[in-house]
């Protein structure tokens, strides 16, 4: 028990909770969409606009937020972010129409924009090099637990306090996490009151001296292929997150409770995929010492497996087959998470927050476009399967662009202060 309760493990658990809570707060709108749509008399295109509202500032603040996390540290950055996203969630329950609902969702995106890049900055200092894939995989698996819990959780809350009350309760839970994080976390591991010498021996050594300027001209070109690949993944992710409950509700005339249960089952498949992808990537890295192979092999498996899993939905239309295919597709897509979120730490250890912000901009842009396109296509054709067919094209593209990524070549001048895993070989390049 004492080993489990070590400070690095507790901090990783707090980050896991943050991923869970932030995803609940960003996808709760999809479960509450049916009563919101009825109350405000929205079309599917307008609903797609509400879904995408979160992503406009979210996309803008990926790089800015990663830079702020690198400069001011995760403790202060996540405190400010948490207060904003919690307030935005509570305010959503007070929306009076399309405009105010849109603005409150924009505020949520502003608050959550820096969270994942800043969390990567925290993991850089609090996670051994050989466990980066696991750390990214397990934190994102909690995000998928949040996805899976949200439909039945919000549906249950709505039954007692309505959709407005559900947002007030969920926003209050976010505030509790913010307080615990600020009280427990420290930017520098050696200054934590509960850190041990054994823990410090396993963690990266923080480089002393003035913080160097971000080498934008070298970092951005290196991260653009990663961002493009992550855009291809993000298109499918945001289609699932925003439209899946309504897909089951409208395609099979289910009530909110049953559509929430089907959506929850699909999202639980992602929990397994997130965790397994990170573990497999780390295992391959330890066995082969080949960073590129360890990351790309799992990423390619994810893209190709998701594409193949979605093919049957073109030919079968019963709810059981579709649910199984969508679950398998989400499982394989989530294999991508652990290895691809390790790549910013592989390429630029000292600027991992900024690098991951550049990468996550790809998913954030997908979060804008994917729900809007899906809503328009559904309004235009009445076909709820067609958006998933479009995702198959993006999955195929992602499998191709993955070959443009080079995690095995660190940014020139970067030296990862953590001791490499046994057998790993670090290269230095442009």
Q: What band does 257 get if pLDDT is binned at 50, 70 and 90?
A: confident
For residue 423, tell me if it sits in a domain. Answer: no
For residue 69, tell me if it sits in a domain. Answer: yes
Distance, CA of 314 to CA of 205 (rounded, Å): 52
Q: What is the pLDDT of residues 218-243, one digit of tens each?
A: 999 999 999 999 999 999 998 998 88
Highest mean pLDDT of the ranges 188-197, 202-211, 248-257: 188-197
The pLDDT value given to residue 306: 97
For residue 250, tell me if it sits in a domain. Answer: yes
Tally of domains in the chain: 1
Q: What is the pLDDT of residues 266-311, one digit of tens each?
A: 888 988 898 899 889 999 999 999 999 999 999 999 999 999 999 9
pLDDT tops 60 at residue 430: no
Average pLDDT, the chain: 87
For residue 202, tell me if it sits in a domain. Answer: no
What is the share, in percent, of the chain residues with pLDDT greater than 90? Answer: 49
For residue 86, tell me if it sits in a domain. Answer: yes
pLDDT tops 90 at residue 75: yes
- Write the Ramachandran bin of 73: left for phi over 0, alpha for psi from -120 to 50, otherwise beta: left
**CATH code, domain carrying 383:** 1.20.1250.20
For residue 154, tell me if it sits in a domain. Answer: yes
What is the share, in percent, of the chain residues with pLDDT greater than 70? Answer: 93
Q: What is the pLDDT of residues 380-411, one digit of tens each?
A: 998 888 999 999 999 999 999 999 999 999 88
pLDDT tops 70 at residue 33: yes
For residue 204, tell me if it sits in a domain. Answer: no
Q: What is the pLDDT of residues 153-204, one digit of tens each?
A: 998 999 999 999 999 999 999 999 999 999 999 988 888 988 888 888 878 7
Q: Which domain holds residue 308?
A: 7-186+221-410
């Amino acid at each position: 028990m004492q080993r489990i309760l070590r400070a690095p493990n507790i901090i990783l658990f707090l980050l896991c909770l943050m991923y869970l809570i932030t995803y609940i707060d960003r996808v709760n709108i999809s479960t509450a969409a049916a009563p919101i749509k009825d109350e405000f008399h929205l079309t599917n295109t307008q609903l797609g606009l509400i879904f995408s509202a979160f992503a406009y500032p979210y996309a803008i603040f990926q790089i800015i937020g990663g830079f702020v996390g690198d400069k001011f540290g995760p403790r202060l950055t996540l405190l400010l972010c948490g207060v904003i996203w919690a307030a935005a969630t509570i305010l959503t329950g007070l929306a009076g129409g399309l405009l105010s609902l849109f603005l409150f969702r924009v505020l949520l995106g502003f608050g959550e924009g820096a969270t994942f890049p800043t969390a990567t900055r925290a993991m850089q200092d609090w996670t051994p090099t050989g466990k980066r894939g696991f750390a990214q995989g397990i934190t994102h698996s909690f995000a998928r637990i949040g996805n899976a819990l949200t439909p039945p959780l919000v549906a249950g809350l709505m039954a007692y306090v309505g959709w407005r009350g559900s947002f007030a309760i969920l926003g209050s839970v976010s505030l509790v996490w913010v307080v615990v994080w600020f009280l427990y976390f420290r930017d520098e591991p050696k200054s934590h009151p509960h850190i041990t010498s054994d823990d410090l021996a396993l963690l990266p050594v923080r480089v002393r001296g003035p913080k160097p300027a971000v080498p934008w001209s070298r970092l951005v070109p290196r991260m653009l292929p990663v961002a493009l690949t992550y855009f291809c993944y993000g298109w499918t992710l945001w289609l699932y997150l925003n439209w899946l409950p309504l897909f089951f509700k409208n395609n099979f005339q289910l009530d909110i409770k049953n559509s929430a249960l089907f959506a929850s089952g699909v999202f639980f498949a992602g929990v397994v995929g997130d965790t397994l992808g990170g573990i497999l990537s780390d295992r391959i890295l330890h066995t082969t010492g080949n960073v590129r192979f360890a990351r790309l092999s799992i990423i390619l498996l994810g893209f190709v497996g998701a594409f193949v899993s979605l093919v049957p939905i073109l030919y079968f239309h019963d709810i059981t087959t579709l649910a199984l295919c969508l679950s398998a597709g989400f499982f394989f897509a989530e294999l991508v998470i652990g290895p691809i979120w390790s790549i910013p730490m592989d390429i630029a250890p000292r600027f991992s927050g900024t690098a991951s912000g550049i990468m996550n901009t790809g998913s954030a842009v997908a979060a804008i476009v994917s729900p809007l396109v899906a809503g328009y296509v559904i309004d235009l054709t009445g076909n709820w399967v067609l958006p998933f067919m479009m995702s198959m094209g993006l999955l195929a593209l992602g499998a191709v662009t993955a070959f443009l990524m080079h995690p095995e070549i660190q940014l020139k001048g970067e030296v990862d202060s953590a001791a490499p895993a046994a057998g790993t070989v670090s290269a230095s390049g442009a």
